[in-house]
Structures are given as C-alpha cells and as structure tokens.
A = this chain, B = another copy of it.
C-alpha cells in the first residue's frame, strides 16, 4: 500500500507516517478500515517493526488511527467527511474566492485607506525620522555589545521586568532630571520599544471607546493613527506661534480625557510652546481632570538655545505622561524609548504592557546602560547636535538658493523642517513624484485633520551635505514638473510675498535673528 524508499534521506517512520496520513486524507483508506498488523507490514516491506510502531503511534496521537497495538489498528471512525477531500498539498496558499470580505474589526477597515505613503517607506534623502546613522559610533557600541554577549549571566536571558531593566531606568531618570528638567524617579520610568509603543500604551490605559482627545492641528500622524485605533474622538486644536491654542481647545471640547502635545518642538511646525501656554494647559488639565501626553521626541536636537525644559517639570499635579526616545539620537532599529509615568498610573501601564508584549528585549538595554553611564551618550548628543546644525544650515541654504520662494518653519530644532508651499500646489503629488526619485519628502497636508496647508517636510538628520545639495536640485525639478508654467510664474511672486510677511509675524522672534536670510 505505502511505498517506501530506502535511499531517501527521509526516515522510514516519517515516510510511513506521511504515506498513511495522505492515504487517509485522500480517501484511499476509509473510516474504520483495518490496517495490517505491524508484524505483517514489517515482513511485507522488509523493514524493522520499530519505524512502523513509531508511525502508527504518531497517527494515533493525531487521531487518524484508533485501536491498540495487538488488537488491530483501524482508521478512526470519527473523521468527518471533510477529511476525505484532500487539503491543498501545495505549500503556496492561494486564497479561496469569496463572495464578500471577511469580518475584521470595523475600526481597522476605517484605518486601512490611511496606509503609509511612499515617503515613509524605506530610508532615503530627506526622510524625517532618520538620524545621522553614518556617524553612529559603531566601534564603541560593538565593544559594549561584545562585553555583554560573552557574559553568560543567565538572569539576562529570562523574561525582563515589565517596567524595563532597573539600571537603565536609573540612568534615564538621571539624564531626564538634569538635561530635561523632568521631575522623576527611576520607579516612574518604563522602558518601551519606541515612542510609538509609548503612545499605544498610553491610549490603552487612558482612553475608552469614544473618549475625546485634543490633538495638535497640524499634528503627528503617528499619534493620530494610534488614537484612531483606540477608537478615540480626535479634537483638532490649532497651533499658533506659541504652540497649542489652549483657549481654542477649551471652546471646542472643554473636558477632554487627554491632550496630546509636542511642546518642545511642535510636530510638524517646529514651534516651542510658550511658558504661559504651558501653564495655561496644566491649569486647564487640572481643572478638567484631563491627562497630558507630552511627546518630547527630538528635544536633544536644538540649535538656537539650550534645550527647552519639559512641560512635565512644571506639572504640580502629576497629569503629564512624558515620552522620550533613543531611536532619534542613536538609531531607529534599536527600538528603545521611555515613558515617565505619574505614580498612580504605574500599575495600569504594567498590566497593559503585560498583555501587549510583556517587556522590551533585555540585551540592548544592558548595552545602552553602559553607553550612557560611560559618557558615550552625552558625547554622541553633542556631536549629533553639531552635525545636524551643519546639515540644517546646508538645507536652508540650498532651499534659499534653488527654491527661494518657500517659507521655512521650525528650523531651530529637530531633524527636519517644514517648507510651506504656495497655493495651487498639492504637496502629496510632489511627494509621490519625489519618492520615485528616491527623495523621502513628506507632505505637510498629511498632518492635518481639517483643511490642510500644503507644504513639505524635509528631514536633514540622515542626509549628508552632498546629498542635500543634489537632493534639493532634484526636488526643484520635481516641483517644476508638477507646476504648469502659468502657475509657476505666479508662484514665484506669491511665495516671495508670503515669506516676507510671515517672517515679520513669526513667533520665533528669538530664533528668527539666526535665520540665514537675516544674517
């Protein structure tokens, strides 16, 4: 019945197992049919009984066979008819044709059209989330990696703590107290796998389906994405020269469950939230019993002044959930970030973390702890700040030269800047064409929930000065190809005007003096 190939690399018991399983599935053997005894089968096939016994035992364990060795073995009687039509034996899985789409979560159906644009797919010039990886101290890092990978400390192989590795939490707390004026102890720090996870955890802990959340307009699409996933009701609150317009928020939705805000370096416009707005927001949050999620995603990169102190450090009511990340200063593939939690939220975050992914991998937490403790982190920040300033300057110069009419925003901090496009030009179209040229320019309009402003977000952190010069020229050609000649002319006039006016009214007075255009 079953063909045996003694020359095959496949063990005999496996050949027998598969042979009988197929014979049952493909109807060659029927329910209740008796199989030959192992002894007679062994004689027939001229093999030992052992592989036969093993194969039968396996088939019995899986329910294909019934009966006891000795008293006879049968094909199981309880097999439903479905077994008897063979499952596709091909390993490639073609989907059966379906009359209708299969049911999944409704909010996912809503999210699916919001798929990431080509400007987020893969690295490339002007990618907004790309730090200067070419300057990462690989030697130092790999020395620390080697130090710990040879160490056979078994305790580091176990599940980690939900809150993260204790020494790293200590190091982060110390860094945040001194560099960011965050009021915290290590017990409040949770190590997470990137700031996006921090947002997801916060959304899970704080929000019910339909909870209102203030988001900045324009604002960070990654936050909007996860808030939508949580089923929150997003309230777009406009941003002006002083950051989030708290009064406008109050007028729209006086008691939000939470407020999402980027006070150090507003995403995407680059504004720094003023002290009075900060205090107004904290005051209102206390009054309305709202939480504040402060995303301090790139405050290490600040060129004009000292880093701005955190909103969390001004909070006297433990309402701020503070988020910061290592991926923007070290490298994104590291997937390590942190949250500073109000003490009464620690238990809830731990429970959600336990359900979501237990903990972050331990190994790089150990390496990162040494990287901070031994001073490499502080050194790297200083180096990156200088380097990014140089790249920022190169980008600003190239843009002024090649695309003089664009108004530049938020170029005093971070790893990207925004360039506002004049009316009549659609940023998505430019960004899609630019992506075909390998440029990862992102559309500003993507950051709006309501009526969008058209513009471009240009990352310079991960783009060298040479790439910047060449890239801006290519971008200029892309923009030209998108604008018809008629408009082109009017654009160049309009944009010059826009720039003048906006410079005068710019809220970044302290910073404006340094804009290359004013030197």
Binding site for B on A (CB under 8 A): 13-14, 17, 21, 54, 57-58, 60-64, 68, 76, 78-80, 82-83, 87-88, 90-93, 95-96, 101-108, 111-112, 114-116, 122-123, 129-130, 133-134, 136, 138, 141-142, 145-146, 149-150, 152, 154-160, 177, 183-185, 188, 192-194, 196-197, 200, 204-209, 211, 222, 225-226, 229, 231, 242, 257, 272-280, 282-283, 289, 291, 304-306, 308-309, 313-318, 331-336, 342-345, 347-348, 351-352, 354-364, 509-511
Residue A361 contacts which of B68, B351, B364 (CB distance < 8 angstroms)? Answer: B364
Alpha-carbon distance between A74 and B271 when the two chains are bound, in angstroms: 21
**Shortest beta-carbon distance, A134 to chain B, in Å?**
6
Query: 9 more A-B contacts (CB under 8 A) besides A105-B205, A225-B355?
Result: A13-B306, A54-B306, A83-B276, A93-B318, A104-B205, A104-B348, A123-B159, A136-B157, A192-B357
Alpha-carbon distance between A331 and B61 when the two chains are bound, in angstroms: 29
- Selected A-B contacts with CB under 8 Å, 18 pairs: A21-B309, A58-B308, A61-B308, A62-B309, A76-B275, A96-B316, A102-B289, A107-B208, A111-B351, A138-B152, A149-B149, A156-B333, A160-B333, A200-B355, A209-B209, A222-B355, A334-B361, A335-B357
Least CB separation from A138: chain B residue? B152
Alpha-carbon distance between A184 and B90 when the two chains are bound, in angstroms: 9
> How many subunits of this chain does the assembly comprise?
2
**Shortest beta-carbon distance, A250 to chain B, in Å?**
13
Contact status A96-B64, CB under 8 Å: no
A79, A108, A136 — which one has the most chain B CB atoms within 10 A of its CB? A108
Residue A62 contacts which of B91, B208, B283, B308 (CB distance < 8 angstroms)? Answer: B308
Contact status A142-B134, CB under 8 Å: no
